[in-house]
Structure 1
């Protein structure tokens, strides 16, 4: 038995179109007309927010070469204004920038980690897109390399969290609600730990926020548990494996069990690592996914294919691209796409809906080329073809939900092998390896229906 090449091509085309459709038009990016934004002054990190209250996302970039932050105002979803620059101080070397409302006036403010001057700069928003430098908070000799914001003491006021490269520690500065902050309270991360990133989440389900720290120097993730006294205790240390060099950390519920899980970008081992929460403050063994010798630098969470499941984005410092890992909703991921940024120092990104099309867009900072890439999430086009093994001489294909999980599955009639293949679908458009069922003859066609009225599809 044999099939013509035309008939086989028809079958491949049907499978290709089917895969594209169930992926909700897939994960696709398009570049803006103004790409990239040239800014040759050492852009190091990026954050987004609506600074001038025009409902369009704006961005702030920390520039470590010229010691300033630059504000770009979004214009109609496809372009940004020329930058307005605010000095951070001579020799400040601003590394990381974060955005939040420090005074509860519904106007966004900015915090920047100044690595060179051991300080945190606070810029308060005026409301029209302009800022005033309000304070420079001393961090001793800490060399802050990372800054993030969270309400750690549940007083509705944002606090500042830093990772300190110089003192092997993290620090917390509690907000007072007027743009001022407490002196830093510091917690050691251990000798030669070189903490590089901090994320927050309630990991032990006691309603108090905890801290997860990526320790680049000691190849581990350190968990500090919060309590009602707003103190943090050293809960546990989780290995990311020798030489992994975890550089960035993020948190999300990857398996839909209402527990906060952890993902890290392991710069040294060219992998991302996933730690699933057991629900009691402990975590399962790290599961890793290769980024293909790319030196992953930063990692973040978002729903990029609009299936209501968390996905991961990674900037790859070694190969000049960003990678996407789509989540299955059970804690596992599949890498589906790389997108070139044309630079070998794509180190920071921000996620927002730049053009108000209800799809996540990406702003990527490349340090060596001094540019900012704007990548718009797109509903347009088809995904690259995915292939799945069937039996010999597949003659016919049909689709249906065979296991009642609300995901479409595939059944194929394999004429030469005298069987049918069933490929159960995942929620992101990919499929499990085939299961085969003997037909005892040479099947030429397959159809799907509920033949015995038990509410289950037959074939």
Structure 2
């Protein structure tokens, strides 16, 4: 049952027939409560479960149909204001029509021949005579059957529309795609890797099909239509069984579609069936996906709500390791700073405010820079750059002029093999300080700032084994910044509570996944207490540790990510006031987005392709559309990807 915000209660299960293959809902007994109808492929029947109107249902009543019912639809096919059932019978090459009595019971079936191996059925008035007709996609004969109703449920002769040799039709849906008030047919041509659109003339005849390519070996298997991008025109979503992703085909209301393979939603398992609906009451359609061989359903929120456009890539230095975002030239447009390990420099890309950027300007830093952060460390209202250099065991500070250019570096010693840097006022003197995670010496360095861009010598605190990431925040609500560290070698997180004077308590450690490489903090469950998320490189997941608000944390909850997740950050990507998680996956060359629920749990990941071996991820509104975008540093392609929110 849905909460109306895109999240749902735990499932309730009801017994039905054997090998259920298709389901639909409607009010079959005219009591204003929705009921469920299921086609049972293995037991050659349909199950009807009458609803009580409170989300619960009566036990099933079963009605016999023909051999191996594959698809079911309901509609009033005899114009008596009572819903009827139509079933496509795969091995009998026909459809069964069960006329309803209006009380939840049905007449015995009447059968009508269609093509070979009917796979999918839809109902609609395709000839504008106010009578519902039946449309069937036939897998075996590669065609579409249209059965017209001519007198209170009686069916006239079958009209056959060829879809093409080898098309192996898997799904049919109908809708008015070109705003001419005539229903059109949309087909999933599994065998020929495309969609077929047949525009209707309104008299039960149709144009020759228009092909919409879904890509080599895509094998489209299921279709949903809806208004996905906020323009009030009908769009098409298609689930591709072969390539395990969804393509969006955005309509202009005139029968023209733009194929957006860039709006790609990828899966770990082949999708099997898809449906659309407004699950979160945002007046836009979302899609629900069920998978082949999996025991769950995923909901994917519509554009403007956590979905992203295709990446745009810009060249930077050699072997980029870390990326940060901020307005370094005070023009109200976000800019990008990247630490390049192979070329021992940082790249600065000034933003135009429309998701495009100037060519990089580079500045020398120490040897093997691994992490970059930007903040105003000298209190002149201009952003400065801080970089940790792993091979020279120091940090570089580059003070900004406020026009996008920077002074030469000043360097400060830290521990052995520093790998990560964070900036914050840890001693409450209104001056920013630096905190560094040192992977070689198993500690963190704290460098207190003088407020003029220079820093005291380091103070070091022990943490776990091989600390790879550090962040700061007030995790115990005492108005003093604390330190959180991901320890890759000991598979845990260190929390060091701050005294507010620049010194810290000894660490407390909490278990995470295997080889945690990156940590971020935020309030994931809206309880005003900071929580921790960690990207676990070795276990291909993220750990979420909800905070008690006193500096201690619950045991981790883990969520799947891509292959070798190496960097994590958080932000509200779908503008629902709940924090979401984004992860850069090193070996799968993509980012995972996990949308957050209000209780601190998260949806299953949605993944978006980026460049080769993404190493670091940052977020910000780089195109000034009030929506967060994703910026990724890609190691082996020596560039950074911007994934803009739609």
Structure 2 partner of 1:64: 41
Q: Of 120, 138, 143, which aligns to 2:95? A: 120
Structure 1 partner of 2:105: 130
Q: What is the deviation of 1:80?
A: 1.8
User: TM-score, length-normalised on structure 2?
Assistant: 0.48
User: TM-score, length-normalised on structure 1?
Assistant: 0.66
Residues 153-194 of structure 1, C-alpha deviations (whole Å, 9 max, x = no match): 111111100000111001111112411111210111111100
Q: Of 324, 335, 345, which aligns to 2:299? A: 324
8 Å Cα contact 2:47-2:63 kept in structure 1: yes
Q: What is the deviation of 1:137?
A: 0.6
Specify the structure having the higher radius of gyration (Cα): 2
Structure 2 partner of 1:108: 83
Residues 111-144 of structure 1, C-alpha deviations (whole Å, 9 max, x = no match): 00011111110001112111002511112x5211
Q: What is the deviation of 1:52?
A: 2.1
Q: Of 83, 88, 107, which aligns to 2:65? A: 88
SS of the aligned residue for 1:234 comes to coil
Q: Distance in 1 between matches of 2:292 and 2:31?
A: 34
Q: Distance in 2 between matches of 1:82 and 1:279?
A: 43
Structure 2 partner of 1:276: 250
Q: What is the deviation of 1:93?
A: 0.7
Q: Distance in 2 between matches of 1:50 and 1:389?
A: 54
Unaligned runs of 5+ in 1: 1-23, 336-387, 393-412, 437-459
8 Å Cα contact 1:135-1:180 kept in structure 2: no
Structure 1 partner of 2:166: 192
Q: Distance in 2 between matches of 1:316 and 1:79?
A: 25
8 Å Cα contact 1:328-1:427 kept in structure 2: no
8 Å Cα contact 1:291-1:323 kept in structure 2: no
8 Å Cα contact 2:5-2:279 kept in structure 1: no
Consecutive aligned runs of 4 or more in structure 1 exceeding 4 Å deviation: 388-392, 413-420, 423-432
User: Which is worse superposed, 172-181 or 278-287?
Assistant: 278-287
Q: Of 127, 139, 144, which aligns to 1:153? A: 127
Confirm or deny that 1:38 pairs with 2:15.
yes
1:325-340 correspondence to structure 2 within 5 Å: 325-329=300-304, 333=307
Q: Distance in 1 between matches of 2:4 and 2:81?
A: 36
1:278–1:415 CA distance, 2 compared to 1 (3 A): same
8 Å Cα contact 1:108-1:124 kept in structure 2: yes
Residues 303-361 of structure 1, C-alpha deviations (whole Å, 9 max, x = no match): 1111112211111224332111111359x8369xxxxxxxxxxxxxxxxxxxxxxxxxx
Q: What is the deviation of 1:257?
A: 2.6
Q: Of 54, 66, 83, which aligns to 2:31? A: 54
8 Å Cα contact 1:143-1:164 kept in structure 2: yes
8 Å Cα contact 1:95-1:112 kept in structure 2: yes
Q: RCO higher in 1 or 2 (8 Å CA, sep ≥ 6)?
A: 1
SS of the aligned residue for 1:157 comes to coil
Q: What is the deviation of 1:284?
A: 1.1
8 Å Cα contact 2:17-2:43 kept in structure 1: no
Q: Distance in 2 between matches of 1:323 and 1:277?
A: 24
Q: Of 220, 239, 253, which aligns to 2:227? A: 253
Cα RMSD, aligned residues only: 3.0
1:285-324 correspondence to structure 2 within 5 Å: 285-287=259-261, 288-324=263-299
